[in-house]
Amino acid sequence: MLLLAVVILGLSIGAVPIATRDVLDALRGIGDPSTIAIVRDLRAPRVLLAALVGAGLASSGGALQGTLRNPLAEPYLLGVSGGAAVGAVTAMAVGVVQPALITLCAFVGAAIATVVVTAIARVVGGSADTKLLLMAGVVVGAFANAAILVALADAPPERLRGALFWMMGSAADATWPAVARCAGALLVLGGILVWRARDLDVLSLGDEPAAALGVDVDRVSRQMFLVASWLAAATVAAAGLIGFVGLVVPNIARALGARQHRPMLLMSALYGAVLLVAADLLARTLRAPADLPLGAVTALVGVPFFLLRLRRLTA
């Protein structure tokens, strides 16, 4: 219901305000041709992409939190998204144009970032301490941003999307093919996470209890981490780096009473979609006609949330 409401709001509000009734008509192909074009070709893909990216980031974050047993884990803070962005940017800089291949490169970048982050945490801490993991993630994320800036410094702006798009994210350039790709990734990868949700329940109990209950801890953690990273990479390839959705939403889902991972992931996907559609709406309207980066809006909401959560965690 909430999702439906923000989606309709997202379709109505914009540079040209359109009444809800006209939006519904336009979706069915009735009414003024220019209204139909705005709703169907500009706003609908943008709103849907924001919803899918939000759902993907939130469920990815929820799965990472379970795997790492840390409620502050999420793809952006872990540097996974940053790695994905570097992968995508690198691919485009060397001339790759097929979207599927770019997504694959984003995933490879995310996987490399994951390996680097866990290696840093292990070398510094002696074991994979999750606090160190987050710290290493932030460092790798900063490095990724720098790498994006350097890689795109002399890029022709008409061929490559700008560094700002990658570093702060946006759903402004949404197209129907991008929506379809993102929907496919969410269905398959999010589906795997939901399907394996009870493994996440058991994993989050700790290494030894999980092993005692019949989970091959190292293998299953690795699998879950990879699937969650791939899902995050797919969102990055579609809409750039958008932080804190993966952090905020699963925590809200838990606060609303989702105790096990299956309901938590499903709830996260739903609320993640709502949150990002709403954030995108803010991005378009807050300082209209300027189109704010989506990641800037989520960071403005997410950072205070992170600090509050951190305080409760260490209190």
Residue from 37, 150, 216, 303 that binds another protein (CB under 8 A)? 216
Number of residues that bind another protein (CB under 8 A): 22
Q: Which of residues 133-162 bind another protein (CB under 8 A)?
A: none
Torsion of CA 91, 96, 98, 100, to 10 degrees: -20
Q: Which is nearer to another protein, 162 or 263 (CB)?
A: 263
Only one residue has tokens 């006209």, namely 22
The dihedral sign for the CA sequence 232, 233, 238, 239: positive
Distance CA 279, CA 285 (A): 10
Contact call for residue 213 and another protein (CB under 8 A)? yes
Contact call for residue 304 and another protein (CB under 8 A)? no
Q: Which is nearer to another protein, 16 or 188 (CB)?
A: 188
CA 60 to chain centre: 7
Q: Which is nearer to another protein, 46 or 254 (CB)?
A: 254
Contact call for residue 204 and another protein (CB under 8 A)? yes
CA 170 to chain centre: 11
Triad 98, 175, 268: Cα angle to 5°:
100
Assign 77 to helix, strand or coil.
coil
Contact call for residue 208 and another protein (CB under 8 A)? yes
Residue from 14, 58, 64, 199 that binds another protein (CB under 8 A)? 199
Q: Which is nearer to another protein, 17 or 214 (CB)?
A: 214
Q: Which is nearer to another protein, 156 or 214 (CB)?
A: 214
Distance CA 1, CA 270 (A): 10
Contact call for residue 198 and another protein (CB under 8 A)? yes
Contact call for residue 69 and another protein (CB under 8 A)? yes
Contact call for residue 266 and another protein (CB under 8 A)? no
Of 223, 296, 243, 228, the residue nearest 82 (C-alpha):
243
Q: Please answer whether residues 188 and 228 qualify as being in contact, where contact means their C-beta atoms are separated by less than 8 angstroms.
A: no
Select from 116-124, 152-160, 161-169, 201-209 the region that touches another protein (CB under 8 A).
201-209
Q: Which residues would be at the binding site for another protein (CB under 8 A)? A: 69, 195-196, 198-199, 201-202, 204-209, 211-216, 254, 259-260
